[in-house]
Amino acid sequence: MLTLLPQAIIDGLLLGGIYLTVSIGFSLAYGVLHIIDFAVGEWIMLGAFLGLYLTAWTGWDAMFFLPAVFAVFAVVGWFTQPLIQRVTSGAKGRPVLMALVFTFGLALTFRGSAQTVFGIFTHSLPTELAAGSWYWELGPFMVTIPVVRLAGLLYALAITVGLTYLLKHTDLGLAIRAVAQHKDAAGLMGVNIRRTNSVVYSLYVGISAMTGVFIGAIISLNAAMGPDLSLFAFFVVVLAGMGYLPGVPWASFLLGLIQSFFLIFFNPGWTLLAVFTVLFLILLISPTGLFRKGV
């Protein structure tokens, strides 16, 4: 059993990378716009399908299309955000809850449309990276690293570093942080709130869609995969503290490690339940996340 320990750790970190990509854009969107987007998994799914169709059409490697998928969905997000804005800023009662219901409806629409258009079958994105894997043996220990998963982890870290740079070292990032901190005050200081919100939402949708391409290559894609991914995005964001961006990587890796340890050392059937239990305990003991920094 102990010989599997390094493999469990590595698997957990690689899995954590996937969760990181799923949840980082989502956490940013929550931090700034204060909406829970039930459609996060659906954006990922749609991005994956766009990647699938582009690769089938051109025959190129799926990884070439990351920028294209990002661009397409950034535009889609740009035009979706005003609708959400309309719901949350309306004079009707309980705007936040209504926004929640709205994105819930959006998620159902996307899932239904995808099942209608793309069918119910499971596909896999073809990429050169999926063929390779590295293997080491050191005494009794052995470790396998699939190259495509490592690429996913690197992609996740690159996105995280990129977002951090954007937020900390650019004017746009300053504006985003100002809006996240106090919307009205930021508006009075001359920040264009509507534009900033749209930028954040389109960034989030673009990143999520790009993530879909990786998930399609690493695991698989089908039209009904959305809710499970949304669930993991929620887990990570609740663990990290809602809207607290620096907590997201730690929470993702923790979740990945929990899952891989359970998978290898305990009963695989109970893995998801273990994850649920952890989420539940965290919500009860410290609703603002592991670092008590959530909003």
Partner 1 sequence: MPDTVWKKRVVVAGLTAFLLAFPLLVRDAFLLRLFTEALMWVGLAITWDLIAGYIGYLNFGHGVFFGFGAYATTIFFTKVNLPFWPSLAVGGGVAALAALVIGWPVLRLRGAYFAIATWAFGRAIMQLALVLDVTGGPDGLRLPPFLNPHFFAYVMLALVGATYVVLWVLLERAPFGLKLKAIREDESGSLAIGLNPAKLKLQAFILSAVPAGLIGGVYAYWITFIDPSSVFGDLVTDQAVVMAVFGGLGTLIGPAIGAVFFLTFKTYFWAYLSDFQVLYLIILGVAIAACVVFLPDGIWGAVTRRQEGRRALRKGLSLNQGEVVQPPQPPAGTSTRTPVRHKGGEEG
Interacting residues toward partner 1 by CB under 8 A? 36, 83, 86-87, 90, 92-94, 96-102, 104-113, 115-116, 227, 231, 234-235, 238, 242, 269-270, 272-273, 276-277, 279-280, 283-284, 287
**What minimum distance in Å lies between the beta carbon of 131 and partner 1?**
33
**What minimum distance in Å lies between the beta carbon of 61 and partner 1?**
31
Nearer to partner 1, 9 or 231 (CB): 231
**What minimum distance in Å lies between the beta carbon of 60 and partner 1?**
30
Nearer to partner 1, 64 or 104 (CB): 104
**What minimum distance in Å lies between the beta carbon of 187 and partner 1?**
22
End-to-end Cα spacing for the chain: 41
Neighbour tally for 204: CB within 10 Å: 26
How far apart are the C-alpha atoms of 144 and 118, rounded to whole Å? Answer: 34
How far apart are the C-alpha atoms of 14 and 207, rounded to whole Å? Answer: 18
Nearer to partner 1, 155 or 235 (CB): 235
Long-range contacts of 160-164, Cβ-Cβ distance < 8 Å, separation of 24 or more? 160/20, 160/24, 160/248, 160/249, 163/24, 163/28, 163/245, 164/245
State both tokens at 51: 């990647």
Query: Which residue in 162, 168, 181, 116 sits closest to 21, CA to CA?
Result: 162
Long-range contacts of 64-68, Cβ-Cβ distance < 8 Å, separation of 24 or more? 65/213, 66/210, 66/213
Nearer to partner 1, 87 or 174 (CB): 87
**What minimum distance in Å lies between the beta carbon of 160 and partner 1?**
23
**What minimum distance in Å lies between the beta carbon of 87 and partner 1?**
6
Nearer to partner 1, 54 or 238 (CB): 238
Give the containing element (helix H, strand E) for 2: none
Query: HEC states along 198-267?
Result: HHHHHHHHHHHHHHHHHHHHHCCECCCCHHHHHHHHHHHHHHHCCCCCCHHHHHHHHHHHHHHHHHHHCC
Nearer to partner 1, 231 or 263 (CB): 231
Nearer to partner 1, 142 or 295 (CB): 295
SS3 16: helix
**What minimum distance in Å lies between the beta carbon of 76 and partner 1?**
15
Query: Which residue in 19, 35, 40 sits closest to 205, CA to CA?
Result: 40
